Amino acid sequence: MTVEITVSRDLPMEPQVFLAAQALLNGEVIVFPTETVYGVAADALNDEAIDNLISLKDRPDNKPFPVMVSDLAMAEQYADLGNARELAKDFWPGPLTLVLPSRAVLSHACTSDGTVGIRCPHHPVAQAILSIAGIPLAVPSANRSGEAPATNSTEARRVFQGKDVAFKIYQQDPTMGQPTTVLKIEPTKWTILRKGPISAETLRGYLPAGVTLCGA
């Protein structure tokens, strides 16, 4: 049975949030809001939990899950920030996903060709869950693959109804509604894989010498 709770954006530390974090550590799946859209989360180090997430999302095998971390230090455990370190420092937490070389073992569905997409959310509920659980989370948008992501509590209630989700956490206000900017980092090329809140013009200001920006 799914436990459903509504939390205040300003006071996200209700006891149920602790229970939701514990559910993640037990290999279960939860839904919670981020500043962009609602996400559905599982332990990024637990293959069985990730398999449950794949089943919920009906996600293609070749599309890796993005990984959410609590801070820059956690990100550095799992990815090589390389020449994007200053960018990460300035925009994390925030709506930016960086596709970086992976430097640690994550679940099979979180990496592709030696890379991992990582972001640090700027949302108190997401941050509370990450801090309590202390693990990286696979957090794609809360929707079935090919459908629009949930951006408010009504849509979040509707998604995955009757499915094996331990907790659904809602907030009263809608999310921003726009997914993160996704930027792939390579030594001589940065590529915008998905346009989002952080503009190409802003990203150009962080380009190291000799690096070009593609996909703008």
Q: Is residue 133 part of a domain?
A: yes
Q: Is residue 47 part of a domain?
A: yes
* pTM, entire model: 0.94
Does residue 181 have a pLDDT over 70? yes
Q: What's the average model confidence in pLDDT over 183-190?
A: 97
Q: Is residue 48 part of a domain?
A: yes
Backbone angles phi, psi at 175, to 5 degrees: -80, 175
What single-letter amino acid sits at 83? N
Q: Is residue 32 part of a domain?
A: yes
- Please return the burial class of 111, using the count of CB atoms within 10 Å of its CB with bins 0-12, 13-18 and 19+: buried
Query: Which of 5-9, 11-15, 56-60 has the least mean pLDDT?
Result: 11-15
Task: Check: CB of residue 134 under 8 Å from CB of residue 81.
Answer: no
Q: How many folded domains does the chain comprise?
A: 1
Q: What is the pLDDT of residue 55?
A: 92
CATH number at residue 122: 3.90.870.10
Q: Is residue 213 part of a domain?
A: no
Q: Is residue 209 part of a domain?
A: no
Q: Is residue 212 part of a domain?
A: no
Please state whether beta strands 189-194 and 181-185 pair in parallel, antiparallel, or not at all (unpaired).
antiparallel
Range of the domain at 62: 3-93+100-178
Q: Is residue 43 part of a domain?
A: yes
- 53 vs 145, residue with greater confidence: 53
